[in-house]
Amino acid sequence: MILFVGLGNPGGKYAANRHNIGFMALDRIASDHGFGPWKSKFQGEITEGTLGGEKVLLLKPMTFMNLSGQSVGEAMRFYKLSPADVTVFHDELDLAPGKLRCKTGGGHAGHNGLRSIHQHIGPEYHRIRLGIGHPGHKDRVAPYVLSDFFKADQDWLDDLLRGIGDGAADLARGDTGRFVNAVALRTAPPRSSGGKAKAEAPDQKAPTQKAPEEAEAPDTRSALQKLADRFR
């Protein structure tokens, strides 16, 4: 079994917050791939399904962000999973809005949800970093992540979540390259060059040349013959 964890805060008050983009990612995967109804377990909400031939558990901790590790640790112990079986979806201040990066191990960079997970299972789990941008100053971080996405954010946010749904099966199989490509096809689709060769207009024809046999023969008459011929 593989465990996908989405980070966020419980309750309608926080549902559309930037900090809850991890919850949004899991909701998209569950919706796109026909997972069962969410149930309360492991101090969180869970649902099970299959992705890429792998059995996958989706978990949204309901402990509030700074205690997320309690829920993750419970689920891991129950299913006898290792950190290598866990992938956490979370908001990332250090990435531009709509950008996505995959990472395994490393520090928590001050993210309260990751800090809690580090404390309960260690750092060697997989992470899907979902860019939300930075407010510009550390004193504005807390109100920024606990505020809703702007209306202007909805297009890139929808593209990002659709891409995550598209690539979820690849991620479950461990193919992060194909997963990232699936997301990129939504967030940065390739553009056609738009340059087309101009077709030659049907009435524009190259000038024709006379065939050799059509060229005029040289005049070999004598001056007297030419004069006589003029009066004939």
The band of 226, judged by pLDDT with boundaries at 50, 70 and 90, is low
pLDDT digits (tens, 9 = 90+) for 165-219: 999 999 999 999 999 999 999 999 888 765 444 444 444 444 444 444 444 445 6
Nearest to 167 by CA among 1, 19, 28, 35: 28
Active site includes 111? no
Residues 156, 187: contact at Cβ < 8 Å?
Answer: yes
Task: Give the number of C-alpha atoms closer than 13 A to the C-alpha of residue 1, restricted to the C-beta side.
Answer: 17
Residue 191 pLDDT? 80
The band of 152, judged by pLDDT with boundaries at 50, 70 and 90, is very high
Residue 65 pLDDT? 97
**pLDDT over threshold 90, residue 121:** yes
2-187: which CATH topology? Rossmann fold (3.40.50)
Residue 108 pLDDT? 95
**pLDDT over threshold 50, residue 37:** yes
Residue 203 pLDDT? 42
Sheet with 54-61: list strands edge to edge: 39-41, 44-51, 54-61, 2-6, 86-92, 126-131, 100-104
Identify the active-site residue in 19, 90, 111, 126: 19
Residues 170, 182: contact at Cβ < 8 Å?
Answer: yes
pLDDT digits (tens, 9 = 90+) for 54-112: 999 999 999 999 999 999 999 999 999 999 999 999 999 999 999 999 999 999 999 99
Mean pLDDT over 3-32 rounds to 98
**DSSP line for 45-82:** EEEEEEETTEEEEEEEE-S-GGGHHHHHHHHHHHHT--
Residues 173, 50: contact at Cβ < 8 Å?
Answer: no
Q: Classify burial at 102, counting beta carbons within 10 Å of its beta carbon; exposed 0-12, middle 13-18, buried 19 or more.
A: middle
